[in-house]
Amino acid sequence: MSKLNSDSNVLQFLLGKGTDNRGRDLSKLWKKGNFFLETSHDYIQWMFPLNEASKHNSKAPVLTAEEITFIRSNESIQENMLRSLDVMLRFYGLERGGKKIQRGENFEKCRRWWLTKNNHNYLRITRILKSLKLCGLDDYAWAFFEVLGDIYMEYPVISDKAFSYWDLERM
């Protein structure tokens, strides 16, 4: 196993000590409103990195096995990823209470951002679920998947195909 580069851009970003490729740090992204979250397409890969290249952002980080091990064992990064999750949940009209995720009081208002047929946010949700699971936050991935299952049953705009990508057993 190669030596972990603790100065890696993605680790520094997740620790809240560095910036993404556009000079934004986590604290700035956490303060962004729904319009930014909907219309910007290159922040989600930094907040929820994966060990595979993004098909939509060539500048997105790709986690190494060593970085994943570090992320899984670093409390600060885990807390920051949960705060990033809270930002995205708020955008979707959901909220986290401990390890449970449920619809928030603003769900009806916020669902217009993402709960439509073939919405690009379904790809973001897939990334969030994969990243949470990959980075050791399985309980939160399962809680998110559970509330998504309830929403899927109620809103037929989410296709069976889209929902199948969220199946954590298959990830």
Residue-wise pLDDT for 71-102, tens only, equals: 999 999 999 999 999 999 999 999 999 999 99
Which pTM value belongs to this model? 0.94
pLDDT at 2: 43
The string of DSSP codes covering 51-87 is SS--SS-TTS-B--HHHHHHHHH-HHHHHHHHHHHHH
Three-class SS state of 119: coil
pLDDT < 70 positions in the chain: 1-7
Which residues neighbour 17 within 8 Å (Cβ) at sequence distance 6 or greater?
none
Which residues neighbour 37 within 8 Å (Cβ) at sequence distance 6 or greater?
43, 87, 88, 91, 113
pLDDT at 153: 96
